[in-house]
Structure 1
């Protein structure tokens, strides 16, 4: 009799997931791998990588292990099988820390210099009331972009790259209860820096007292100090937190188009949107944009500008370099094939066959001498 399965093995057996259990929505969603490049990047960059993996959840690999032997082509080779659409790499030099965004499988590649960054734990520890809980990472964040209206080619490429890294949202049938986080990208038109922020979204009913809000949330109040429930409901200074923050500012108040799972947020009622930063925080400077996967033509460079003649010369040099590379590759393949053929001819089995043929010929010659 077989051994009875227990624990995780039993739970997995009860699930009985089919071979292709992923839905079409999950397959179509962009998947991003976040990892480091280089021998050593330091503990601060490693923690930043972990924070960015939290930002890109659930369509990422939170426990991805990268060794020194792994090359960039290894991740590109597995991208099609795991529906990976983008690669986000972090590296560190003596000058600064860099972030690279790669569109798989044909590019382009955006190279950013990280001017400043702050870890999530530092931001959360500075908050009086942090809003962090595991369920907020079950769905992808909402992307909000500001200042990307310029028609310059590099601005359009930055906006398109970040937009394709997050799932698109259909505003007609989206479930508002699934929108728990948002990523804010703000471009400064003066210095060209991109500010990266990550917030938690909380929707609270507005226009009601704190006492009514507690009752809606299912909290049992302490009525021992009151003679009547009306004293508790209409006591002075009883405005809710969302009411205090939205006094004189109607920009964060909306009319809900659907009822949310949280209590008090009813359809067609007024609610206040509250954002709480959960990190990480980065200030990015675009360095250059490359065509292809880190080895193509430089489409834009922030600090270097070239004339049309220099660009044509570099393009011709790149074409010649690719031609020589393909030629060397063909020569190597021919050399390997020739060595394999030579090895087959000189193998022990072939030598035994040749010796057997020679012995057969010698026996035939002896028979001819006896006949004479």
Structure 2
């Protein structure tokens, strides 16, 4: 019995990548981004160009201002990205850079004018937009790119390598739903970029039959019979025309659209999706966004200037490598010093742990003996001073250690505060006292004229009350006391009396 697969094996990205076909892995992938301060229209153009490059592009790529080209270059190898299209905007104009990753070359185009996809679709009378067409890569068509010059060949090669190649023997016509057309005008040196969706319609049928074949519901409101709908003359209006015979082809395979079956004659129609771009090649660089200029449309330099620029670039490269090597040496040196300090600290900790308890006790004993010696020396100094000043021998316990330390009356250690007990603990402590102490306390109460509870007896009254309390005054225990031991006879405090006086004055 085989091993049962769990959830982790199903969601493992490595297993999914292994199951991905090889032609999809080798297909050219692209990044389409914008850099710098760009207008809202240019950002929308970037999104429209991502739709053109689908499905082999990062359509939901979120670029930030702090991201650099090195950040995109670092992840391009893992994601099989081979091309990068960068849109920028300055005061002079709008530019598009097409770069081959990871080492170039880089082509810089100046965009003269452009139209967004939403504007193109809204301007068409017949609009045909289908989302299934973006599931496969478009077909690239180049026109008039066979001019003289190495820059023309390089530009044509870059455009062709942006899209996956087509194998004629294994290609399926139903997967080719879009096409990108690039037309080069040698007179103006402008490149027209257009994006279309391809649709095939049956040919040789009248208007009514074509509607039924294509799955459209016909309008039979003006017809008495179904045959009248098919045989009715004048089905074509003045705005409609017959398809061009050059656009009619014999389909070798069946297409996804209705009526376009194999070995049937169909007409190929193109519906524009947008965007529209008119651009011009300005510069070709050898490296990635920075390198030797191989071609420039506006600036021409002599051989001496080219040699000087090349020399400066080599010196700059050499200086950069030197700084990089020096920085690596400094980093290694810091790591070496850090490791040495770490080893020293570890050795110190190890030595400290190896010290035994006896060694620490010996050190403590040596410190205590030194303190005792210092105290004895101080005692001898005091005795000598007494002899010199008084002229007689001091008493035996005058400068001894016992004479300096005073003891408390209850033989407790001096220097510590007595612990105050709570009432409950105090009562518990009093109950546990010796019986002779209780007897002594009873005799003492009788001696001073107190009750068993310890309260003072009054001689005037047999019940312990004072004569003054019987005249209408409160007992002594219930009277309130103020600061200084005086008795507050009035019920109201001073603050309340002051408030009442203030009210009476008003």
**TM-score of the pair, normalised by structure 1:** 0.86
How far apart in 1 are the matches of 2:238 and 2:261?
Answer: 18
Shift in CA distance, 346/149, structure 1 to aligned 2, threshold 3 Å: same
Q: Matches of 1:298 and 1:224 in 2, distance apart?
A: 69
Number of corresponding residues: 347
1:359–1:75 CA distance, 2 compared to 1 (3 A): closer
Rounded Cα–Cα distance in structure 2 between residues aligned with 1:240 and 1:57: 38
In structure 2, the residue matched to 1:296 is 291
Q: Please state if 1:353 is matched with 2:350.
A: no
Partner of 2:19: 21
Alignment partners' CA distance in 1, 2:15 and 2:220: 51
Specify every segment of 5 or more residues in structure 1 that has no aligned partner in the other structure, as ranges.
1-8, 364-372
User: Equivalent residues in 2 for 1:107-256 (5 A)?
Assistant: 107-239=104-236, 244-246=241-243, 249-256=244-251
The C-alpha deviation readout for 1:180-232, integer Å capped at 9, x for no partner, is: 11111011101211111111111111121111112212334344533333211
Structure 1 residue matching 2:280: 3-state secondary structure: strand
Change (3 A) 1:240 1:337: farther
Higher relative contact order (CA 8 A, sep 6+): 1
Larger gyration radius, structure 1 or structure 2:
2
Deviations 1:287-308 (A, max 9, x none): 1000021121110000111122
Q: How far 1:240 sits from its partner (Å)?
A: 9.3
Correspondence for 2:311: 316
Residue 272 of structure 1: how far off its partner (Å) = 1.0
Structure 2 residue matching 1:100: 3-state secondary structure? strand
> How well do the aligned residues superpose, as a CA RMSD in angstroms?
2.7
Q: CA deviation at 1:243?
A: 7.3
CA distance in 1: counterparts of 2:84 and 2:318, whole angstroms: 27
Equivalence for 1:84 = 81
Runs of 5+ unmatched residues, structure 2: 1-6, 360-506
Question: In the alignment, is the contact (CA less than 8 A) between 2:199 and 2:257 conserved in 1?
Answer: no
- State the 1:336 CA deviation: 1.4
- What is the deviation of 1:241? 11
**Residue equivalent to 2:458:** none
Which deviates the most, 213-222 or 81-90?
A: 213-222
User: TM-score scaled by structure 2?
Assistant: 0.64
The structural deviation recorded for 1:77 is 1.5
> 1:92 & 1:195 partners in 2: Cα distance?
20
1:210 and 1:241 in contact (8 A); partners too: no
Alignment correspondent of 2:486: none
User: Secondary structure of the equivalent of 1:251?
Assistant: helix
Deviates more, 1:225-234 or 1:108-117: 225-234
Report the equivalent of 2:280: 285
Aligned equivalents of 1:241 and 1:123: distance in 2?
25
Are 1:270 and 2:265 counterparts? Answer: yes
1:240 to 1:184, Cα distance in 2 relative to 1, 3 A: farther
CA gap 1:82/1:93 in 2 versus in 1, 3 angstroms: same
More strand by share: 1
- 1:242 is displaced (CA, Å) by 12
